[in-house]
Amino acid sequence: MTIDGKVRKTLAELGVADVAGVDALFGEVRATMERERSSLVARVASSEGERDRLAKNFRDRWLARKNGLLTQIDEHWLKSSPRDLKPSVGKSFNALRQAATALEMDVLVKDVGFKIPPKVAAAGAAEIRGTDLGDLTLPGYCRPLGSLHPVTQMQREIEEIFLHLGFRIEDGPEIESVYYNFDALNIPESHPSRDDWDTLYINSQTVLRTHTSPVQIRAMEKYGAPLYIIIPGKCYRHDNPDASHTPMFHQIEGLAIDSDITFADLKGTLDFFAKKLFGEKVRTRFQPSFFPFTEPSGEVAISCIFCGGEGCRVCKESGWIEVMGCGMVHPLVLRNGGIDPEKYSGWAFGLGVDRFAMLEYDINDIQLFFQSDVRFLQQF
Ligand SMILES: [Zn+2]
């Protein structure tokens, strides 16, 4: 049922019997209002007259004293609401009325564009060249500003730490060859990640990259050693979306290659990074693991930032949260990148930026990042 249908019914008829239901219902009204307003503001009317007519129709739809949507909400939801719900309906209705001031004609008319007829435009330009500039002391029109997406904010924060350590940022193509995505990274044909259940193939030789690691090889070919880079970017996997998976996600990869690089450098750098990002009290734990492109390989966990290691819901009572994979770059991978493993060694790590943002902002569903819901995004 559309909002127009719902405002003609009472709360009881709509089956709304508690505060959560009231909140959801008013949330829907607000979203509809915003959507309609945005699409109106995005229009360019063919004349000033048409603009005024569009604005007036929209204003009347919501605010007309007789039969406007707000009047009907007042009538059918507020006045007839059960006593226990009245305070919450009243509060939501007042907030709605407040928001609806943006629908008054004088506000709307400023925001809806219209085409200026050529003659008038020329006259206007002449006016500016001439004497009458109008009242320059009037305030300008204010447009709502957006902000950086939480995942971008997290990415920048991580980049910042590594830039201070002397790393530089490198990127590469999201549509990648099977060679760079798998073969050059020592991932054999038989490895399960190469299956088309896991990887999105464009054709037999081209994939949507499943990790940012192919850029390791590209950067080694381009710059040789020594090399200190981080590689942020989007990756793609054949995953069904749920609270912890989306088919597109963000990674940051780190790579350091130099003479005499050891596992101690890796541990030191990642421990420093974790403390910079999550606070001085955070401890790190390294556990052996396996990746085809590193040897030895490890999983890094940090002491739980929510309970300090005592055990809680987020760390599943373990006191630790696994945050990334890492290891010493496999000699074959160095060789594939044109670097002599007898002379140079290196370490690498990879982490999920979305997952870090979920930890940082205490978000329990990764899908929220990509649904473009302003109610979620405007909290950042
Ligand atoms: Zn915990």
**Tens-place pLDDT, residues 122-167:** 555 555 555 566 777 887 777 777 889 999 999 999 999 999 999 9
Q: Is the pLDDT of residue 196 over 80?
A: no
Question: In angstroms, what is the span from residue 321 Cα to ligand 1's centroid?
Answer: 8
Give percent above pLDDT 70 in the chain.
95
Question: In angstroms, what is the span from residue 208 Cα to ligand 1's centroid?
Answer: 35
Give the separation between CA 307 and CA 280, rounded to whole angstroms.
15
Q: What is the mean pLDDT of the chain?
A: 90
State residue 102's pLDDT score.
85
Of the two residues 111 and 364, the one the predictor is more confident about is: 364
Question: In angstroms, what is the span from residue 313 Cα to ligand 1's centroid?
Answer: 6
Domain boundaries, the chain: 3-129, 150-377
Question: In angstroms, what is the span from residue 300 Cα to ligand 1's centroid?
Answer: 16
Query: Binning pLDDT at 50, 70 and 90, where does residue 380 land?
Result: confident
- Domain spanning 150-377: CATH superfamily: Bira Bifunctional Protein; Domain 2 (3.30.930.10)
Give the separation between CA 219 and CA 224, rounded to whole angstroms.
7
For tokens 């940082």, the residue is 360
Question: In angstroms, what is the span from residue 154 Cα to ligand 1's centroid?
Answer: 21
Q: Is the pLDDT of residue 218 over 80?
A: yes
**Tens-place pLDDT, residues 335-363:** 999 999 999 999 999 999 999 999 999 89
Question: In angstroms, what is the span from residue 212 Cα to ligand 1's centroid?
Answer: 29
Q: What are the Cα distances from residue 295, in Å, to 273, 276, 329, 364, 378?
A: 22, 27, 6, 33, 43
Point out the least confidently predicted range of 38-47, 83-92, 258-267, 367-376: 38-47
Query: Binning pLDDT at 50, 70 and 90, where does residue 103 land?
Result: confident
Tokens of 204: 């037999």
Rounded mean pLDDT, 252-279:
96
Burial string for 80-104 (b: 16+ CB within 10 Å, else e) reads ebeeebeebbeebbeebeeebeebe
10 Å CB burial of residue 211 (0-12, 13-18, 19+) is buried
Tokens of 272: 């420093």
Run of H or E residues at 320: strand 320-329
Question: In angstroms, what is the span from residue 282 Cα to ligand 1's centroid?
Answer: 12
Point out the least confidently predicted range of 67-71, 153-157, 262-266: 67-71
Question: In angstroms, what is the span from residue 249 Cα to ligand 1's centroid?
Answer: 24
Question: In angstroms, what is the span from residue 323 Cα to ligand 1's centroid?
Answer: 13
Q: Is 314 left (phi over 0), alpha (psi -120 to 50) or beta?
A: alpha
Q: Is the pLDDT of residue 104 over 90?
A: no
Give the separation between CA 330 and CA 293, rounded to whole angstroms.
5
Rounded mean pLDDT, 113-129:
60
Q: Is the pLDDT of residue 371 over 70?
A: yes
Question: In angstroms, what is the span from residue 290 Cα to ligand 1's centroid?
Answer: 26
Question: In angstroms, what is the span from residue 278 Cα to ligand 1's centroid?
Answer: 14
Q: Is the pLDDT of residue 250 over 60?
A: yes
Give percent above pLDDT 90 in the chain.
64
State residue 107's pLDDT score.
81
Give the separation between CA 176 and CA 233, rounded to whole angstroms.
13
Q: Do 372 and 146 meet the contact criterion of CB atoms below 8 Å apart?
A: no
Give the separation between CA 222 and CA 199, rounded to whole angstroms.
26
State residue 324's pLDDT score.
96
Paired sense of beta strands 284-291 and 44-45, if any: unpaired
Question: In angstroms, what is the span from residue 303 Cα to ligand 1's centroid?
Answer: 8
Q: Is the pLDDT of residue 85 over 60?
A: yes
Q: Bridge partners of 167? A: none
Question: In angstroms, what is the span from residue 302 Cα to ligand 1's centroid?
Answer: 10
Question: In angstroms, what is the span from residue 243 Cα to ligand 1's centroid?
Answer: 19
Question: In angstroms, what is the span from residue 153 Cα to ligand 1's centroid?
Answer: 24
Rounded mean pLDDT, 231-244:
93
Q: What are the Cα distances from residue 309, in Å, to 65, 284, 319, 362?
A: 59, 11, 4, 17
Question: In angstroms, what is the span from residue 298 Cα to ligand 1's centroid?
Answer: 21
Question: In angstroms, what is the span from residue 362 Cα to ligand 1's centroid?
Answer: 12
**Tens-place pLDDT, residues 162-190:** 999 999 999 999 999 999 999 999 998 88
State residue 28's pLDDT score.
92
Question: In angstroms, what is the span from residue 305 Cα to ligand 1's centroid?
Answer: 7
Q: Is the pLDDT of residue 319 over 60?
A: yes
